[in-house]
Chain A
């Protein structure tokens, strides 16, 4: 770590230099001096722009370096509700195994709940070295304090170098609690993970709310923590034989106190989710009026697709929030996604990049969506879709 030092004596035009900051974090004060305010993201663009040493980055002195060899193994948190394992768990195990093999370290699966020991045996059919189970009545429903207490006990005992957690309702509450308790880093919604030979986890995610990816490290803290959304990673394959071992653990009940009382758990009525669809037709701001959704729906129906959309359309109330694709919506991995009038922000792309086939139709030849599309169609959806829908209908009728 370190800090930025501004050498005001070396800056000729302070107002001009302040413009170099993409986050408007440099300001000229009443005393005429340039300072950096708390909007700074430490991107160090100002340091790179300093031709004459105007802004300097200084490392902290006396930094105590961590002994990384004391932290070994990659832990996957087994995400579940009432013992039913969420499929993101198998995707994380697949990734954890790949990362662990690079540094010859074990994969742990941590399973916290009540009446889950039988279900835990299923995990032994996947590439894990050890499944650690905390099966206690106090852990029946997810309540953040007892689950955090168990997680903390596990981390302090096993000292895993990295922890992967699914970005589910539970994971998104539990992972930050653990990270804050262990005073370590947590990177949300990673789309790419890799392992360095020194056991540093390379994490990539869309960042700064723009069309940018950031590569993030936790170089001097352990455990390194990351959340990953469902359908981002490839699931591990189940094998017939089992491997690894199952270890049962307990924690004294007085460590599992909570200010939360669960009054009821009810199943939601089953609705068709876009996550399960094989074919998706997604629409963005290229759509001019809400009424034109009819055109999109007809095309979607002609190829048996589910309708989805981008955040602006959800915010405008044109489509339901459950049909939103992207970082603040759902992640999908269909066989085909047709993107209509979608510019393709990183936020959106993060939610559909894993699709087998991406077709994009956009009038703007420079639209970022064309960077990720397999088939880029530079054209107007209003001119193409009605004719295409008719062709598909007639083609089908002719067969």
Chain B
């Protein structure tokens, strides 16, 4: 079994603010971590490997420092890792990101299953996984919360459809986006981290790809444009209550009564 997991490095803190006067973004710290949703994709891959054997490869896109999440995946049990990094990839939206990842995957090899997490905590779109599957022309399923069975040639999974559950059998090769909590992710092992400290993380850049048209990557390959960013607007009709806790309790009670909720 050849299994690939797509992971991402995200900011450890969500604190980004826009100065309302200058429109300049401020972000505290450059600390980063693995996207928490990806831990579930990794765990799913390890479970499949435990059953059928094979190799788990991990891939990320980002600056060279993103190799940090590949090392973390090594410490959890991944066998091989790649970072797609090039300043030509800068400013990529979902379409260009998914295309870059699909080009990277084609360069690395062929896989029976590609696992992705539900979404990232910085982009929050949940769109990159499905777009990658389109670019690789693979059947795909998202919102997978259970793996029923995996055998040579196919995997049977349960998809959460909101009011109902669909059980689906998908032929390899395929792409699967798993939900949070599908399995409890294993912790990185200190022993394995030490053992893999010298293991190579391969960096792939634009020149390694089959498609050498720069217009398909980064900002040039992105149909969407962020015209402006701004802090969310406040409410003009807001009423502010201050005072002692006793006063606040009484006034809140009156408000709830006035609005007829009690």
Residues of A that sit less than 8 Å from B by CB? 1-4, 22-25, 27, 35-43, 45, 48-49, 60, 81-82, 86, 141-145, 148, 168-170, 172-173, 175-177, 179-181, 183-189, 206-221, 258-268, 279, 302-303, 315, 321, 327-328, 335-336, 345-347, 349, 357, 359, 361, 365, 368, 370-380, 383-384, 387-388, 391-392, 395-396
Contact = CB atoms under 8 A, between A and B. Distances in A.
B37 to A, nearest CB: 9
A359 B252 contact: yes
B180 to A, nearest CB: 7
Nearest to A304: B261
B232 A371 contact: yes
Contacts of A173: 130, 140-143
Contacts of A172: 126-127, 130, 142-143
Given A189-B124, A209-B14, A42 B223 contact: no
Contacts of B36: 315
B10 to A, nearest CB: 7
Contact of B253 (A42, A215, A263, A391): A391
Interface in B153-200: 156, 159-171, 174, 180-181
Contacts of B143: 169, 172-173
Given A180-B131, A180-B135, A213-B231, 14 more contacts: A1-B220, A39-B90, A173-B142, A187-B224, A209-B121, A210-B16, A218-B224, A260-B169, A260-B170, A373-B235, A375-B241, A377-B248, A378-B241, A395-B257
Contacts of A260: 139, 141, 168-171
Interface string B20-50: 0011111100100000100000000000000
A79 B232 CA distance: 30
21 contacts: A22-B27, A39-B63, A142-B161, A143-B168, A170-B161, A177-B133, A185-B222, A187-B224, A216-B226, A259-B174, A260-B139, A260-B141, A263-B167, A264-B165, A265-B166, A371-B232, A372-B235, A375-B252, A378-B241, A388-B253, A391-B249
A119 B148 CA distance: 34
A372 B180 contact: no
A187 B262 CA distance: 41
Main DSSP-derived SS at the B contact region: mixed
B204 to A, nearest CB: 12
A365 B170 CA distance: 53
Contact of B159 (A24, A168, A169, A378): A169
A37 B63 contact: yes
Contacts of B17: 210-212
Contacts of A267: 163-164
Contacts of A327: 124
B261 A168 contact: no
A392 B219 CA distance: 56
Interface stretch (B51-59, B74-82, B91-99, B103-111): B91-99
B220 A383 contact: no
4 closest cross-chain pairs (CB), A and B: A210-B16, A42-B91, A185-B223, A259-B139
Contact of B90 (A4, A184, A189, A220): A4
Nearest to B94: A186
B24 A395 contact: no
B232 A38 contact: no
A37 B90 contact: yes
Contacts of A2: 219-220
A254 to B, nearest CB: 16
Contacts of B122: 208-209
A376 B127 contact: no
B245 interface: yes
Most buried by A among B224, B228, B240, B253: B224
B237 A40 contact: no
Contacts of A258: 139
Contact of A207 (B98, B226, B240, B249): B226
A203 to B, nearest CB: 8
A261 B168 contact: yes
A35 B166 contact: no
A160 to B, nearest CB: 16
Nearest to B118: A328
Nearest to A23: B27
A303 B238 contact: no
B207 interface: no
A177 B137 CA distance: 10
A37 to B, nearest CB: 4
Nearest to A326: B124
Nearest to A383: B245
Given A177-B134, A180-B131, A376 B123 contact: no
B53 to A, nearest CB: 23
A144 B209 CA distance: 28
A370 B162 CA distance: 32
A183 B98 CA distance: 11
Given A209-B10, A327-B124, A303 B130 contact: no
A185 B224 CA distance: 5
Contacts of B224: 185-187, 216-218
A268 B163 contact: yes
Contacts of B239: 374-376
Contacts of A40: 87, 90-91
Contact of A372 (B86, B128, B162, B232): B232
B68 interface: no
Contacts of B161: 81, 142, 169-170, 265
Most buried by B among A267, A303, A388: A388
Contact of B169 (A37, A185, A189, A263): A263
